[in-house]
Amino acid sequence: MSFGDWLNDRTGYRAGLRRVLDEPVPGDVNWFFTLGSVLLFLLALQFVTGVTLTMYYVPTPAYAYESLRFVITQLKFGSMLRGLHFFGASFIVIFAVLHLLRVLFFGAYKSPREVTWATGIVLLLLVLAFGLTGYLLPWDQRAYWATVVTINIAKSTPLVGPYLANIMRGGPDIGALTLSRWYATHVILLPVGVLLFVVIHLYLMRRHGIAGHFNPRPMPTSPFYPVHAVKDTIVIAGVFALLFSFAAFEKAPLMAMADPSDASYVPRPEWYFLGLFQLLKYFPGKLEPVGAIGIPTLVIALLFLLPFLDNRPERDPRARPRVSAIVTLIVVGVSTLTWLGFRDTPVERDPRVWSPRAVAGLDIALSEKCTRCHSTGGSGPDLTRGRINRDVQWISGHVADPDMIAPGLRPPPADGLKNQETRAVIAWVQKVREGAPPPGVRGDERIGMDVFATRCITCHVIDGDGGKEGPDLTHEGKKHDAAWLVKWITDPVAINPDSDMPAFGGKLSDAEMNGVANYLAARK
Amino acid sequence: MSSSTPEAPLTAAEVTRRAWLRGIIGVIVTAISSVVAVIVGGAALSPAFASRKDSWVPAGRLRDLEPGVPTPVTVRITRQDGYYEAVDQQVVFLLKSDSGELRALSSTCTHLGCRVSYDAQSKLIKCPCHGGVFTPDGRNIAGPPPRPLAEIAARVDDSKVFVQL
């Protein structure tokens, strides 16, 4: 007797497995019926990636952001892990809606499947709650300010609003208590809820069988495995490949760490809440609860009641024009609102673009001046790890006087940073804290940026940053070429006797001179 | 319900087709599981096998040391503990010989790990826990300690003392 036989004898697993896999499925079940399996796969993937993220994530304002940065920058495949979880959430929302639309148009919610349908709506709401609670956890600017808006929306609920807002915050302000209760909801309450409802949903699906096509053709049934499972598997492979590409190439964003004092940040909700966000703009002042609570509640109530409102047995969408029209109207409405929301969202600065100041700051930070202490094995934290949790005030104090943090332990360097160098280092720190990937500039261009950001920037502006004494050099390349710029920078008075600009001939090395001239000449 | 009819007996061609389908499912499931396992496994395990790197830490100036007298020095080590920056304080004994040669000794008793201290009166290093006694250069001479105090690598650079921890 093999081990499998013994286990089967004791548990009967083979009969159970056969019962699950050999489910007779109508022959006319087509590719549209793979959406449920895709959702099941995506939920399982969220579970696996989510559990791994919890090994590192810490739900406190002091460390939430840092711990996620650690995942992204220090762990092997950490960025992929977070990417899969981040984009996986969006994928689930998309496929949940597609699944819902499939059931709507195929009329599969009708008797006897009313309860299956209701559990599906509950699952959709749970998935949205997952998205909402998960959005806060990175504790970056985007997370914090979107949550401020979410809670304000809840607050506008008639009668119970203020109490609801307090319960969501866990106190009078958004802070440590909010973060930990949203975390508990996200990693414990909601997963248990989803698991429970998925089990009920699947049990009911098996109990009533798959509804199949709305105009069934007489065809023999075939077992789910492998005849139908192969379609599910192929679609899942495609979806996974797409999700993998998003995680690998699009990179899940991480903004600067949450700063409750920075009210200038314009909150943006996750894209699947953009429609709701947009709707609110049409209900100003006292009418806000209508858009924020009234309309969404009405839509959800309508969904739950649909099998009872539309209770005739016809399933062909053409035979029930009213339902088809209302569904189409809602789909068009939500899509339009989402699109308008997208259009109205102010663009966020692309974190991949580095200013000359930030590039120079990076080069200074990695130079002898800083790495004498800040390197592996040095007395200060290693800067190459690109992980900085000090704020700007602290850094500017520290580079001016390194002695201040640990008096006596380390002498201040005799060749401390000059003013422009300090500002460059601060620009770099802010860039790092925004979660920017390293700059894609090297060689000549990089030297040019370093020179510009430590010298020229005192009097000249590029992209709105710099001194106002000299002309704006943002589009200098349109006016002059590199050869002319070398001559000009070497000795401006030789070209224009009235020029106030100091001569840099002899102060810059050949590499620096050519670098800055080429950099400026390339700015068209 | 459905007007479908129950499944007909399988033809030989259908049996082969289903074997193929099972194969396709197997390949895809294995491929996806492997990719997910590599990503999740990498993220879950990569810090587990990272080794700690020793570093040279400044520990005062050579001229502040009295020859033959072990001087306790508290050194501060910043250590990256995942997302957390841990600061460890550790006491080491610095010992300068009459010829100016430098040694550094751990202040951890070799018996059960208590913190030892220098008794200037008896000119001995003593452990408060179980009465272990060491000479100023770290040899165990009385009580339970089985070994001399651990030696720590030390070097002098520009009259400044560095120890490797």
Lowest-confidence range among A88-92, A139-143, A177-181, A254-258?
A254-258
**Domain stop point among A260, A287, A313:** A260
Co-location of A122 and A194 in the same domain: yes
Q: Is the pLDDT of residue A13 over 90?
A: yes
Q: Is residue A423 part of a domain?
A: yes
Q: Is A414 on the interface with B (CB under 8 A)?
A: no
Round to whole Å and give the CA distance between B105 and A481.
65
Q: Is the pLDDT of residue A70 over 80?
A: yes
Q: How many domains does chain A have?
A: 3
Give A49's contacts in chain B (Cβ within 8 Å).
Answer: 39-40
A361 is in which domain, residue-wise? 350-440
Neighbours of B49 (CB within 10 A): 6
The percent of residues above 70 in pLDDT, for chain B, comes to 95
Q: Is residue A299 part of a domain?
A: no
**Predicted pLDDT of residue A266:** 78
Structure tokens at A462: 């590029």
Lowest-confidence range among A82-96, A430-444, B30-44, B46-60?
A430-444
Instruction: Find the helix packing angle between A229-245 and A35-54, rounded to 10°.
Output: 50
Q: Of A27, A234, A377, which has the smallest distance from its Cβ to B53's Cβ?
A: A377
**Domain stop point among A422, A440, A458:** A440
Q: Which of the residues A77, A85, A385 would you substitute to probe the B interface, choosing the one with the greatest number of B C-beta atoms within 10 Å? A: A77
- Span B135-160, mean pLDDT? 88
- Report A:195-214 residues touching B (Cβ under 8 A): 209, 212
Higher per-residue confidence, A161 vs A417: A161
Co-location of A31 and A107 in the same domain: yes
The domain limits of chain B are 12-47, 56-164
Please name the fold of domain B56-164. Answer: Rieske Iron-sulfur Protein (2.102.10)
Strand segments (E) across A330-488 = 461-462, 465-466
Q: Is residue A100 part of a domain?
A: yes
Co-location of A371 and A458 in the same domain: no
**Predicted pLDDT of residue B24:** 96
Co-location of A389 and A248 in the same domain: no
Among A71, A36, A69, residue whose Cα is nearest residue A50: A71
Contact present, B81 and B127 (Cβ < 8 Å): no
Round to whole Å and give the CA distance between B81 and A205.
49
Round to whole Å and give the CA distance between A174 and A164.
13
Round to whole Å and give the CA distance between B29 and A23.
20
Lowest-confidence range among A148-162, A303-317, A362-376, B34-48?
A362-376
Q: Is the pLDDT of residue B44 over 70?
A: yes
Q: Is the pLDDT of residue A348 over 80?
A: no
Give B59's contacts in chain A (Cβ within 8 Å).
Answer: none
Co-location of A415 and A475 in the same domain: no
Structure tokens at A14: 């083979």
Rg, Å, chain B Cα set: 32
Contact present, A385 and A66 (Cβ < 8 Å): no
Q: Based on DSSP, count helices (H) and strands (E) in chain B, helices before strands.
A: 1, 11
**pLDDT one-digit tens code per residue, A457-509:** 889 988 878 888 888 898 888 889 999 999 999 999 888 888 889 889 888 88
Q: What is the CATH number of the domain that holds A411?
A: 1.10.760
- Return left, alpha or beta for B57; rule: phi > 0 is left, psi -120 to 50 is alpha, else beta: beta
Across A45-54, A342-351, A455-464, which has the greatest mean pLDDT?
A45-54
Least Cα separation, residue A356 to chain B (angstroms): 29
Q: Of B7, B28, B53, which has the smallest distance from its Cβ to A234's Cβ?
A: B28
Q: Is residue A223 part of a domain?
A: yes
Co-location of A434 and A452 in the same domain: no
Q: What is the CATH number of the domain that holds A491?
A: 1.10.760.10
The percent of residues above 70 in pLDDT, for chain A, comes to 90
Co-location of A460 and A503 in the same domain: yes
**Predicted pLDDT of residue A283:** 87
pTM of the model: 0.76
Q: Which residues of B touch A (CB under 8 A)?
A: 1-8, 18, 21-22, 24-25, 28-29, 31-32, 35-36, 38-40, 42-47, 53-58, 76, 78, 80, 82-85
**Domain stop point among A232, A260, A288:** A260
**pLDDT one-digit tens code per residue, A371-411:** 777 766 566 777 766 556 666 667 777 776 666 655 544 55
List the single residue in B with minimal CA-CA distance to A25.
B4
Lowest-confidence range among A29-33, A398-402, A519-523, B18-22?
A398-402
Q: Is the pLDDT of residue B4 over 80?
A: no
Structure tokens at A44: 């399982």
Q: Is residue A312 part of a domain?
A: no
CA angle in degrees (0–180, nearest 5) for A331-A335-A340: 150
